[in-house]
Structure 1
Amino acid sequence: MTCTSKMLAATSALALFAFGATTAHAAGTTAGNTITNTATINYQVGGISQNAETASDTLTVDRKINLTVAEVGSATTVVTPGSVSQVTTFTVTNNSNAPLDFALEALQQTGGTAAHGGTDTFTASNVRIYVDTNNSGSYESASDTLVTFLDEIAADATRRVFVVSDVPLGLANGSVAGVALRATGREAGTAATQGAALTQTTGGNTAGMDTVFADTTAGTDDAARDAAHSARDDYTVATAALTVAKTSRIVSDPVNNTTNPKMIPGAVVEYCIAVTNAAGASSASTIAVNDPLPATVTYEPTFGVKVDGTVSGGVCQADGATAGSQASGTVTGTIASLPAGSTKTVLFRATIN
């Protein structure tokens, strides 16, 4: 078995219960069954029927090992930096003609193109595997079971499996993490215990039940005929992309008033803090602006702190609502929301001491 991904170990080894088992056997006749075929010869001697002669042949059906791991859905899982328990969903189907256990591994790409486009650029954390214990179709932390293997899966039965991960803080908008689920067939027979590794029968057909690895098509992170299969999904970060710029302009001074004022003691300075959210990013909310003033200036309370102002022609406009405040020399204001591709400001004035 080959794999260019690094394995993220799941953290438990609990057995699973039935989900989606069917009575039809697309995989064929059950392994270990015997098939007996008897031929009969009837004949006459001198026109008189004689006792029939028979001959029988009995063979044992061999075990065909095959499975399918498939992503549920066809889109990336959109996540926010710092979010926890983000879910990608897979199914594991036993296409063999015998019950099996399946060892499960959560894998993560190391670079390269992810399943739904984009380049794998970050590593998810706290990756674990759950099974859909109550068959609800969606991840439920209170009821689904943390596992490292699927237990006693009948031929043609399917289990829904969730790969659940946390997303680091500080990721840029559009960052991608590719993840995969790989299942490997194991011997069945003892409930709640992962079976031993499967061994393919070598050489010619024997009289007993031989084992054939029939998974002729490789998955994303396994090889053909290795008793394993895998599929990928990915996480894509959607977040705000904020930049901030602080500018100032002189409004007046005590000598020149508003005509060509200069930065002399007593002059009034207008400060503008402009916050911009890049085009294509996610909307940001509750943007708290804090600006401690140096001891060389004094806050101007008459003008107040204006929030949600605009910028026109590169100039901050005094068109925001008076909604901020100043306490102990620190100016604060909160921008409630900032959609992608927009700029809002916090504006206030101070006097040079």
Structure 2
Amino acid sequence: MTSKLKLLVASSTVSLAMLCSAPAFAAGTTQGTSITNNVNVNFQVGGVAQTQASASDVFVVDRKVIFSLAEKAPTGTTNVSPGQTGQITTFVLTNTSNDTLDFTITPSQLVGGTAAHGGTDAFNVTNLLVCLDANADNTCDSAATATLTINDLIADANTTILVVGDIPLSATNGQVAGISLSAAALNSNGTAITAATDATVNGAGTVETIFADTAKSGNGGTSAARDGIDVATDDYTVQAAVLSVFKTSRIISDGVSSSNFKSVPGAVVEYCISVANAAGGATATNISISDLVPTNTTYQAGTIRVNGTVTSPGASQTCAAGTVVTDASDADAGSFGTPANTVAGTLNNIAGGSSSALIFRATIN
């Protein structure tokens, strides 16, 4: 019996290779299997052996529907950035029943409360969909849909499921979006399972079905015991840059004074545009600055500097150093005049807790 069972399961695995991994043989004897117990009684009368008496008992193995849905290892929140699309969380469905089953898979949003990994649910992802990832390559096998039907998941097999969602551009650093996934067991022909209750009398020659799933509660999801449904949760955590932009000016010469220069016609003004990324913010990249030179001033050629240092970004900031760039629209990180009368420049990446600046000069008309 054992060798025959192993052969049958191996054959099913080949035919459903796109749906499951190697079986672990934990489900037990296949439902519908007949178990026969024969007994023989030998006895004598007056020292003479009599005809052997025998009896047998036969019953069929009932169906035990039990399975698990869980976040796939390695577990942890999925870090995302505002505006990203098609971000995935990954789950694994394992059929530990003693029969082949179908499943309906449905994703949903958490509404407030504690998310899977301890954060507080604060926003919803958009375009929440689900798909099968049978080969576990983190890519949907076919287009994701609002719900998913998994057909013929054999006993002791598992398969990977992806939940896919888009992150709103309005999401802010540190916000968490919790999602839930449910799996409901069906017969292998896609019909609903009718389960026996504790009041159902077990028939020796009939296959009864019982749900054996246990109740679940807490951050991992909530489901009742013995309802043929399991749930699991996961979450997205936003890692966004938290940028502040400051623009200050100082008079560096007025053509007359030796100190405390005044903003008189002919004076040179040095502008500093600083960009600061708050501690804990994600690294900001591709930072471009465009600044129209103010009316009643004239840009001073060759004075653009990028990636300047900033002390105490804000209204009282001090800016210095930086890399001098040309005014031409060329390969370096700055230019003047495109668009007209506009200073432009790009800064290097700014990590959380850091700042950088673009500096240029103009003369008061």
Q: TM over 0.5: same fold?
A: yes
What amino acid maps onto 2:139 in structure 1?
E
Cα deviations by residue, 1:179-204 (Å, 9 ceiling, x for unpaired): 23221100113xxxxx1221212333
CA contact (8 A) 1:101 1:187 kept: yes
TM-score (norm 1): 0.85
Mapped to 2, the partners of 1:306 and 1:127 lie a distance apart of 45
Instruction: Name the structure 2 match of 1:49.
Output: 49
Asked whether 1:211 is paired with 2:206, we answer no
Instruction: Name the structure 1 match of 2:336.
Output: 326
* Matched ranges for 1:154-173 at <5 A: 154-173=154-173
CA contact (8 A) 1:276 1:341 kept: yes
Instruction: Name the structure 1 match of 2:361.
Output: 349
TM-score (norm 2): 0.83
* Matched ranges for 1:206-245 at <5 A: 206-207=202-203, 208-218=206-216, 220-245=221-246
RMSD over aligned Cα atoms: 2.2
CA contact (8 A) 2:248 2:317 kept: no
Mapped to 2, the partners of 1:349 and 1:18 lie a distance apart of 65
CA contact (8 A) 1:132 1:145 kept: no
Mapped to 1, the partners of 2:289 and 2:143 lie a distance apart of 44
Q: How many positions carry a matched residue from both structures? A: 328
Cα deviations by residue, 1:68-106 (Å, 9 ceiling, x for unpaired): 112111222222222222222111111111111011011
Using the TM superposition, give the Cα deviation of residue 33 of structure 1 relative to its aligned residue in structure 2, in angstroms. Answer: 1.9
The answer to which structure, 1 or 2, has the higher relative contact order (CA under 8 A, 6+ apart) is: 1
Instruction: Name the structure 1 match of 2:137.
Output: 138
Cα deviations by residue, 1:107-146 (Å, 9 ceiling, x for unpaired): 221222222222122212222222223x2x32135x5674
Instruction: Name the structure 2 match of 1:121.
Output: 122
What amino acid maps onto 1:326 in structure 2?
F
Mapped to 2, the partners of 1:145 and 1:243 lie a distance apart of 40
Asked whether 1:196 is paired with 2:206, we answer no
CA contact (8 A) 1:17 1:151 kept: no
Mapped to 2, the partners of 1:251 and 1:321 lie a distance apart of 19
Q: Tell me the secondary structure at the aligned position of residue 118 of structure 2.
A: coil
Overall identity of the aligned pairs, in %: 43
Q: Quickly say closer, same or farther: Cα 1:246–1:145, change in 2 above 3 A.
A: closer
CA contact (8 A) 1:65 1:96 kept: yes
Using the TM superposition, give the Cα deviation of residue 222 of structure 1 relative to its aligned residue in structure 2, in angstroms. Answer: 2.0
CA contact (8 A) 2:286 2:349 kept: yes
Mapped to 2, the partners of 1:288 and 1:70 lie a distance apart of 43
Q: Quickly say closer, same or farther: Cα 1:21–1:144, change in 2 above 3 A.
A: farther
* Matched ranges for 1:1-353 at <5 A: 17-22=18-23, 24=25, 26-72=26-72, 73-133=74-134, 135=135, 137-141=136-140, 143=141, 146=144, 148-189=148-189, 195-202=190-197, 203-207=199-203, 208-218=206-216, 220-253=221-254, 256-302=256-302, 304-312=303-311, 314-323=316-325, 324-327=334-337, 328-353=340-365
Using the TM superposition, give the Cα deviation of residue 251 of structure 1 relative to its aligned residue in structure 2, in angstroms. Answer: 2.6
Cα deviations by residue, 1:188-247 (Å, 9 ceiling, x for unpaired): 13xxxxx12212123332422111111023261322211011222221122211110111
Mapped to 2, the partners of 1:129 and 1:81 lie a distance apart of 21
Cα deviations by residue, 1:43-66 (Å, 9 ceiling, x for unpaired): 222322222222222222211111
Mapped to 1, the partners of 2:82 and 2:238 lie a distance apart of 7
Q: Tell me the secondary structure at the aligned position of residue 170 of structure 1.
A: coil
Using the TM superposition, give the Cα deviation of residue 16 of structure 1 relative to its aligned residue in structure 2, in angstroms. Answer: 8.7
Mapped to 1, the partners of 2:56 and 2:76 lie a distance apart of 56
CA contact (8 A) 1:182 1:221 kept: no
Using the TM superposition, give the Cα deviation of residue 23 of structure 1 relative to its aligned residue in structure 2, in angstroms. Answer: 6.6
CA contact (8 A) 2:211 2:228 kept: yes
Q: Tell me the secondary structure at the aligned position of residue 251 of structure 1.
A: strand
